[in-house]
């Protein structure tokens, strides 16, 4: 009898004689049927027999025979360390890695097979300079930025442990969560109402889309394009001057899909479909996704703001409803390019996207005119730009 594999165990025989390791060879009377039983050591498993026997059941032989038993180590139990609370209530409690600002705290717990482990020993692998952790799993980030490891070990079984990577950051930059981006989208405008209902917005949108490529405003997005450059193509527009029943502003997907079908257009995942609503009870501006058939497409939904514009101060004078609509469009378009499926690509640790943290606007001068556009968060500038 021989024991193979990377694990440990014991093989005994009936009748007695083999007790391996220890006694691994012996002689039995001629014609004796000898049965072997394998018992894995703690933390190991028995994989099976080799030689005249196979499988993992009882092995019985007679006559001269050479048998081997294979044992393997079981995978060590591992704790999963998860964030459960943070100093800032709306921070993203992601865990790959967990991101915190300097000097902020977050609370963690350790779980085994989905259940919370009540008695845990916590430590910071890189030492006190990498932050401190209390006995209840509350970690306070250091002043120094970097990647650190928060380790957890079961008090009752110190061999069972786990860890989480924490990235400590100094500024409210955007972080790449790995989802898809849209570097070179096409844009189709769907005007829900007659052209004259939009108070000049149609011409403003045309001028913006014709002049945006190569602009300083659009070039801010290049740093998020993973080696590509942002570029926008105007794919055309659809007017629904008498749309009948109004499109739902909260679930416009079905109407967008039906409009495309009515006009013989196939849904394109690389085209942003922007639904522009002239008459609406509430101001709406957001981007999302919808599914037409089996094709998921990015959408923007905008309503024409009411009159009574506020002082602008970027291009001078007051913003008209059409200009306010275009500014909202620039906001949602930038976010659609960098994060087409919201909060899966570029966002900050609070779940804000590229235009959410910048309250001000810039005056962008294009060949067709000057346009008030939302400012964008630039990692290169560590703030709003340009």
By residue count, the chain amounts to 386
Q: Which residues contact 380 (CB under 8 A, 6 or more apart)?
A: 223
Dist CA 297 CA 190 (whole Å): 14
Mean pLDDT lowest among 57-66, 130-139, 193-202: 193-202
Q: Is 327 helix (H, G, I), strand (E, B) or coil?
A: helix
pLDDT at 307: 58
Query: Cα separations (Å) of 65 from 36, 37, 68, 130, 309?
Result: 12, 15, 10, 61, 95
Nearest CA to 330 out of 302, 288, 350 is that of: 302
Q: Is 257 helix (H, G, I), strand (E, B) or coil?
A: helix
Dist CA 136 CA 116 (whole Å): 12
pLDDT at 350: 77
Half-sphere exposure of residue 344: CA atoms within 13 angstroms, side-chain side: 11
Half-sphere exposure of residue 372: CA atoms within 13 angstroms, side-chain side: 22
Instruction: Write the DSSP string, 199-215.
Output: TTHHHHHHHHHHH-TT-
Report the percentage of the chain scoring pLDDT > 90: 61
Q: What is the mean pLDDT of the chain?
A: 89
What DSSP character marks residue 137? S
Both tokens of residue 48? Answer: 């099976």
Q: Is the pLDDT higher at 196 or at 52? A: 52
For residue range 213-240, list pLDDT tens digits in order: 999 999 999 999 999 999 999 999 999 8
pLDDT at 107: 93
Dist CA 345 CA 343 (whole Å): 6
At residue 248 the predicted structure's pLDDT band, cuts being 50, 70 and 90, is: low
pLDDT at 373: 93
Over residues 129-135, the mean pLDDT reads 95
User: Does the structure show a pLDDT above 60 at 246?
Assistant: no
Q: Is the pLDDT higher at 71 or at 283? A: 71
At residue 243 the predicted structure's pLDDT band, cuts being 50, 70 and 90, is: low
Q: Which residues contact 250 (CB under 8 A, 6 or more apart)?
A: none
For residue range 338-375, list pLDDT tens digits in order: 999 999 999 988 788 999 877 678 999 999 899 999 99
For residue range 147-205, list pLDDT tens digits in order: 999 999 999 888 889 999 999 887 678 989 999 999 999 999 999 888 888 878 999 99
Mean pLDDT lowest among 86-90, 260-264, 311-315: 311-315
Provide the whole-model pTM.
0.65
Over residues 13-21, the mean pLDDT reads 94
pLDDT at 245: 47
User: Does the structure show a pLDDT above 80 at 278?
Assistant: yes
User: 213 phi and psi, to 5 degrees?
Assistant: -65, 135
């Amino acid at each position: 009898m021989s024991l193979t594999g990377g694990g440990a165990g014991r093989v005994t025989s009936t009748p007695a004689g083999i007790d391996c390791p220890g006694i691994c060879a012996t002689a039995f009377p001629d014609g004796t049927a000898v049965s072997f039983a394998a018992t894995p050591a703690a933390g190991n498993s028995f994989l099976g027999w080799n030689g005249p026997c196979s499988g993992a059941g009882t092995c019985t032989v007679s006559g001269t025979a050479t048998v081997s038993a294979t044992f393997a180590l079981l995978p060590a139990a591992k704790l999963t360390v998860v964030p459960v609370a943070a100093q800032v209530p709306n921070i993203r409690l992601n865990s790959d890695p967990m991101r915190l600002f300097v000097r902020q705290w977050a609370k963690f717990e350790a779980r085994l097979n989905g259940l919370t482990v009540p008695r845990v020993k916590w430590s910071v692998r890189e030492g006190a300079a990498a932050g401190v952790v209390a006995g209840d799993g509350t970690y306070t980030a250091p002043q120094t930025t970097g990647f650190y490891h928060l380790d957890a070990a079961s008090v009752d079984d110190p061999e069972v442990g786990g860890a989480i990577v924490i990235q400590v950051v100094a500024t409210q930059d955007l972080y790449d969560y790995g989802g898809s981006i849209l570097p070179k989208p096409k844009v189709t405008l769907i005007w829900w109402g007659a052209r004259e209902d939009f108070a000049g917005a149609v011409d403003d949108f045309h001028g913006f889309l014709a002049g945006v490529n190569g602009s300083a405003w659009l070039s801010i997005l290049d740093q998020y394009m993973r080696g590509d450059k942002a570029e926008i193509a105007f794919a055309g527009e659809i007017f629904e001057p008498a749309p009948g029943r109004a499109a739902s502003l909260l679930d416009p997907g079905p109407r967008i899909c039906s409009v495309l079908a009515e006009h013989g257009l196939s849904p394109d995942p690389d085209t942003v479909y922007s639904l522009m609503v002239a008459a609406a009870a509430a101001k709406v501006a957001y981007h999302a996704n919808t599914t037409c058939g089996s094709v998921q497409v990015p959408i923007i939904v905008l309503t024409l703001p009411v009159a009574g514009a506020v002082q602008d101060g970027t291009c001078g004078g007051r913003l008209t409803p059409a200009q306010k609509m275009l500014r909202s469009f620039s906001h949602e378009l930038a976010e659609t390019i960098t994060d087409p499926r919201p909060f899966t690509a570029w966002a900050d640790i609070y779940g804000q996207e590229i235009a959410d943290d910048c309250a001000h606007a810039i005056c962008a001068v294009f060949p067709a005119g000057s346009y008030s556009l939302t400012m964008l968060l630039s990692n290169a500038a560590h703030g709003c730009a340009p």
